[in-house]
């Protein structure tokens, strides 16, 4: 049984247990890993995430009244019960804000969401940088839109992306630039998705990892430094200030010469990251399209160095696992996601998976750091109706 089918079963069982009802349908949406293009999505830049075969499944039953009942198989998630009028900013907290908030933003976008009973189950690790949050939002959004009678097409999916972003920004209160929601709703299996974040234009880029004997390994450091609180907002503020000083709407439009024009060394460094990261994304896309995916390793390494030194969002755990993975034969490795903990990725030859796993565990052990967890990931499809 595929991971998606397993999660679907668990969601259906949870729907029965919690709310004593059978679903009208089950929808899934994937987590993601970002190959390259980090901290550029809010700067109008380009990124290249890939959807995973790990998903959140939502089993959903339409109700005849205005009640909304939500439950999750995550043991830390308290069930939520409310009405269609209680789903907005300030009205829901915790995990339910992601799901209820998405229903709220769909309503704001003019979709007549019906009352619903819903249960979700996910094998995307929560809070590990693989975007369990957007996978939850996307599964909720697609299910509710279809049960509201909308036809699933590209136009609807673009609307759902914006609704999911709005839910996370305004109801959860988390900054998110839109990469995660876009890949969850528009990815194609076997490909990464090049996203032009300023207008959400997307192009699938076929990866050919398996054909090249390669795999992507995710290394979850299993730490999240509290320092991270507020740092995302600070980086965004730095970028906004740099763009303002340069008279640019998007910092991604800065040139290497613009970097030199900034007086503040910190803003220079932030801008240097954004400019160089966009260049690396373009180079990776060129190589992959030319069938040369095995050559992208040094660009992953350079991305890590830029995030560590210019953007200052790495952490000792991330630096240690990236270095250990390379020493054990990875072709390239870098931190992914917001930073200050969370996960790294390594591009490895399939045959090296066990050695890389051992090396990252040993390197953390030697330094008294939390033992990391590794998993190899493959590219999966976008959100869809399963049954
Ligand atoms: P990431 O998106 O990288 O996994 P986030 O902090 O953005 O990390 O989102 C994780 C949060 O999303 C969890 O703490 C939880 O509140 C919510 N969440 C995601 N998936 C589920 C789920 N299946 N059940 C309950 N809550 C979930
Ligand atoms: Mg998230």
Same domain, 176 and 259: no
CATH of the domain at 76: 3.30.230.10
DSSP-assigned states of every residue in 212-273:
GTEEEEEEEEEEE-GGGTTHHHHHHHHHHHHHHHHT-SSGGG--HHHHHH-S-HHHHHHHHH
Same domain, 200 and 275: no
Percent of the chain clearing pLDDT 70 (strictly above): 99
Give all strands of the β-sheet with 332-335 in edge-to-edge order: 332-335, 341-349, 214-224, 373-377
Does residue 383 lie in a domain region? Answer: no
DSSP-assigned states of every residue in 277-333:
HHHHHHHHHHHHHTT-GGG-HHHHHHHHHHHHHTS----HHHHHHHHHHHHTT-SEE
Do the Cβ atoms of 379 and 190 come closer than 8 Å? yes
Does residue 202 surpass a pLDDT of 80? yes
Percent of the chain clearing pLDDT 90 (strictly above): 93
Q: Identify the weakest region by mean pLDDT among 173-182, 235-244, 373-382.
A: 173-182
Sign of CA dihedral 96, 98, 102, 104: positive
Does residue 130 surpass a pLDDT of 80? yes
Same domain, 248 and 299: yes
Beta bridge partners of residue 72, listed in sequence order: 120
- Domain hosting residue 285, numbered range: 208-377
Same domain, 288 and 151: no
**Residue at which a domain ends, from 180, 205, 230:** 205
Same domain, 231 and 139: no
Residue 76 CA, closest ligand 1 atom number: 25
Q: What is the pTM of this model?
A: 0.94
Distance 121 CA to ligand 1 centre (A): 11
Distance 129 CA to ligand 2 centre (A): 7
Size of the chain in residues: 387
- What is the C-alpha to C-alpha distance for residues 53 and 123, in angstroms, rounded to an integer? 9
What is residue 373's predicted lDDT score, i.e. its pLDDT? Answer: 96
Does residue 230 surpass a pLDDT of 90? no
What is residue 229's predicted lDDT score, i.e. its pLDDT? Answer: 75
What is residue 338's predicted lDDT score, i.e. its pLDDT? Answer: 86
Same domain, 160 and 294: no
- What is the C-alpha to C-alpha distance for residues 266 and 268, in angstroms, rounded to an integer? 5
Q: What is the pLDDT of residues 271-316, one digit of tens each?
A: 999 999 999 999 999 999 999 999 999 999 999 999 999 999 999 9
Select from 70, 73, 136, 171 the residue to mutate for testing ligand 1; criterion: most ligand atoms less than 8 Å from CB.
136
Same domain, 201 and 220: no
Does residue 206 surpass a pLDDT of 80? yes
**Residue at which a domain ends, from 166, 190, 205:** 205
Q: What is the pLDDT of residues 232-277, one digit of tens each?
A: 889 999 999 999 999 999 999 999 999 999 999 999 999 999 999 9
Residues with Cβ < 8 Å from 110, sequence gap 6 or more? Answer: none
Does residue 221 lie in a domain region? Answer: yes
Do the Cβ atoms of 96 and 78 come closer than 8 Å? yes
Task: Name the DSSP class of 345.
Answer: E
Does residue 226 surpass a pLDDT of 80? no
Q: Is 132 in the pocket of ligand 1 (CB under 6 A)?
A: yes
What is residue 227's predicted lDDT score, i.e. its pLDDT? Answer: 66
Question: How many degrees, rounded to 5, is the angle at CA 42 between CA 40 and CA 48?
Answer: 40
Do the Cβ atoms of 50 and 207 come closer than 8 Å? yes
Number of structural domains the chain divides into: 2
Same domain, 223 and 274: yes
Same domain, 158 and 179: yes
Does residue 386 lie in a domain region? Answer: no
- What is the C-alpha to C-alpha distance for residues 183 and 34, in angstroms, rounded to an integer? 10
Give catalytic residues, as residue numbers. 180
**Residue at which a domain ends, from 152, 171, 205:** 205
Q: What are phi and psi of 78, to 5 degrees?
A: -75, 135
Task: Count how many Cα atoms sit within 13 Å of the Cα of residue 372 in the half-sphere of its side chain.
Answer: 34
Residue 87, token pair as written in the block? 């789903």
Average predicted confidence (pLDDT) for the chain: 96
């Amino acid at each position: 049984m595929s991971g998606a089918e397993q999660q679907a079963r668990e969601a259906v069982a949870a729907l029965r247990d919690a709310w004593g009802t059978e679903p009208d349908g089950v929808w899934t949406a994937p987590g993601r890993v970002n190959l390259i293009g980090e901290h550029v999505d809010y700067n109008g830049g380009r990124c290249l995430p890939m959807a995973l075969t790990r998903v959140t499944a939502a089993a959903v039953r339409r109700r005849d009244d205005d009640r909304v009942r939500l439950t999750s198989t995550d043991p830390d998630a308290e069930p939520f019960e409310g009405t269609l009028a209680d789903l907005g900013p300030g009205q829901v907290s915790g995990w339910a804000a992601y799901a209820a908030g998405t229903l709220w933003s769909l309503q704001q976008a003019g979709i007549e969401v019906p009352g619903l009973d819903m249960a979700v189950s996910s094998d995307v690790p929560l809070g590990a940088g693989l975007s369990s949050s957007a996978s939850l939002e996307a599964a909720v959004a697609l299910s509710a839109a279809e049960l509201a009678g909308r036809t699933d097409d590209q136009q609807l999916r673009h609307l759902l992306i914006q609704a999911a972003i709005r839910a996370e920004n305004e109801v959860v209160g988390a900054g998110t630039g839109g990469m995660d929601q876009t890949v969850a709703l528009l990815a194609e299996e076997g490909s990464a998705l090049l996203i032009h974040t300023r207008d959400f234009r997307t192009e699938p880029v076929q990866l050919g990892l398996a054909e090249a004997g390669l795999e992507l390994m995710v290394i979850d450091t299993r730490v999240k430094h509290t320092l991270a609180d507020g740092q995302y907002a600070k980086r965004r503020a730095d970028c906004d200030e740099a763009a303002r000083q340069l008279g640019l709407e998007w910092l991604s439009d800065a040139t290497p010469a613009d970097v030199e024009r900034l007086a503040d060394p910190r803003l220079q460094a932030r801008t240097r990251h954004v400019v160089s990261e966009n260049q690396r994304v373009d180079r990776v896309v060129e190589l992959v399209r030319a069938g040369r995916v095995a050559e992208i390793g040094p660009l992953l390494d350079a991305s890590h160095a830029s995030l560590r030194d210019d953007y200052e969002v790495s952490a000792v755990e991330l630096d240690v696992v990236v270095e250990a993975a390379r020493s054990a034969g990875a072709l390239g490795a870098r931190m992914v996601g917001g930073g200050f903990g969370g996960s790294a990725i390594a591009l490895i030859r399939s045959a090296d998976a066990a050695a890389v796993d051992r090396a990252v565990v040993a390197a953390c052990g030697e330094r008294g750091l939390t033992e990391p967890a590794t998993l190899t990931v493959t590219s999966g499809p976008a959100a869809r109706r399963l049954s």
